[in-house]
Structure 1
C-alpha cells in the first residue's frame, strides 16, 4: 500500500512517534510519502521516505492553480475551501497568514500527491495540515485516517464534524481523547485507541546499553588488613572485562597498615578512576553510604594465623537492603545463603571473585532479587539482643 502523511514543517514538527510510525509502516512493506506543507530543508536528506515539499515560488503556485482550474479540480476556486478557511480564521485570527499561504499552495500540493497514486492518507493532530489533507483527499477521492492526540482543535465545530465523519478511520492515543471527540461523530463508539508508536526493541537495546555504562556503586568496609581481602578484591576488579570494569565505582572505607600497599595495587592496575580508599568515617555516615550502594563486598580470606569472623557489616547491609557478596569464611554462610540472602564467591580466588562480581555488576535484577529475603532473615535473627538475653536469664 502507498501511504501519504500530511504534515507541517517536516521533520521539525514531526514528533519522534511519527517518525517511528513511518518506520514501522516501511518494515511492514508499505511505501510512505510525506506531504510537507513547508519547504525543503537539509534534514530531509537521507530519509527513507519521499518528501513532497511546498514552494515559495509564486509562479509555480499560480501555474498549479491555473492548471487545476482548467481541469475543474482547483481547490483555490472551491467555495467549500473558502467557507472552511474563513470559519477557521474567524476562530483563530492569529493564524490568518498561515491559512492564506495554505490556500495559495493547495493546488500545488494536490498535484504532487495526485502523481503518487496514493491508496491512503494519514494526518496527525487537528491542525492546518489535516484540513489541507482533507481538501486534497476529497478532491482525489482518497481515504484518509486521522490520529488524535489532544483535545485541541483549530476548527469550528461544523468543520471538525465534517473532517471526522468523512474520514475512513479515526484512532486516538488515549481513551480520554477518543471519548472527547465521540460527541462529534454520527456513528458513536467508532474511535479506537492506538498508542503512539515507539520502538520497544530499540529502547530495550538502549536500556541495556545504558545499564552497561551506568556506574554500579560497590562498597567494602573494614580495617585495611590482610584477612579482609581488599587486595584480592582490587585485583579481581582488574580482571573484569573492559565495559564491566568501566561501570564499577568501588569505595573502600577504613584505615590500617595496608593502606599504602592497596594504593600501589590500584595504581599498578590503572584503577585510580575505579577504586577509592575513603578512609575512616563516622558510623552513621558509613551506614548512609552503605544504604546508597548497589552491592557490599566482603572478600574475607582465610589465613593460617588470622581468620575473619562474621563481619557485622553483613547484617547492617541486609538491614538497609543492600545486597551482599561474600566469601564462605567462618560462619558467613549462615547469614549469606547463595542466591537467597546474598551471593558467595570462592575464598582466596581472584578469578572466581571476578567472575561472580562481573555477573552481579551487569545484572541489577539478580543483585536485588535477594534483598527482601535477606531483610527478613536479619530482622528475625538479630531481633534478640544480648541485653534482652541477659534479662531473660536473670
Structure 2
C-alpha cells in the first residue's frame, strides 16, 4: 500500500513513537507519505529534523492555496463538498470561533484530499483523535481514501462528545487504541455496532533500547523523570515528594528532563523547598540525552494525573530501570510490583514512600525488577513488531 500519515504537529519531541512506527510500516514494504497540519517547532533531535524534511505541512501551503483547494473541491464534486461542509459546520454549532475552525478544517481537508489523490495514496492513518482525525474524516467525505486513527489519551477522553469520537469511530475503517484501557474508553464513547473495528496496537520503543544490554542501574539514590512540564504530568507532586524525602533526611538526586508552561512555577517550588541541590530541571533533551539520563539513574518516576501509556516508561524498563508511576489509564497494564511501584495519583507521600523504597532496595532487587521490566517491553512494546500488527490491522480493515 501507499499510506499517508497525518498528525497535528509532526515531528515533535514527545512523538518519536510515530517516527518509529512509520519506519516499521516502511520496513513492511509499504510507502509512507508524511503530513502534518502545523509545521513542527524547534527540534533538538537530529532524527526528528531529518523527518521534518520529509513531512509536508498543510498550513504551510498558505491561505490562498487552501482556499483554492476548497473552491476546486466544490466545483469538482458539489455533492461531496456539501456533505463535508455539513459535517464540519454541524460539529461547530453556532459558536463563531468554532465556525472559523470548522471552515479551516474543511479547507485543510480539501487541500489534503487533492494531494492524496495526486499521489495515489491508498489509505490515510492519523495519530490522535482530535483535529487531524476530523480532517481525515472530511477528506473521506470529499472522496479521498478511507482512514484509520490511533487514540492515545488523555485529550480525546477529556472531551469525547465535543470531539465526536462516536462519529469518528463510525466513519473510520479502523480505530486503534494503545492500551486495553484506551480501547475500553473508545468502546464507552462509540456504538456497540462499531466495537469490532476497535483494535489495540501498543506503542513501542526504538530497537536500540533492546538491542544491547544496558549498564547496571546506579547504586546511588538517583532518580530520573522525563515529561512535558504541563499540568497533566503531576510534577508539582513530584517536587513535593522530593521535599518530603529531604525532610526525612534522605540523600538523593532527581533529574527532570522536559520543558513547558509550568517551568517557572516548578523553579519557584524547588527554591521554596530548599531543593536546589537535590532537584535539577534539565530542559528538553534529544533521544541520546534521554537515554543517558535513564542509564545513570536507579529508578524512573512519573506521577502523572492523566496519560495514555507513556513511551518513556517503556524506555526506562527496556533499560532495566524500575518505574514509579501512578495507577492511571494504561500504565498498570505494564507496571506493577514486579518491575516497579504503582502509587495513587495525587499523593506526594506515596511517591516519596516509593522513592524511599527504591533507595533502600538491594541492588539485586533493583536488578530483578529491571530484568522483568525489560522482558515485558520486549514482549509487548517492540516498535517494529507492533508496526507489523498495525499494517495487518489496516489491511484486514480495508478488505472488509
**TM norm structure 1:** 0.47
Larger radius of gyration: 1
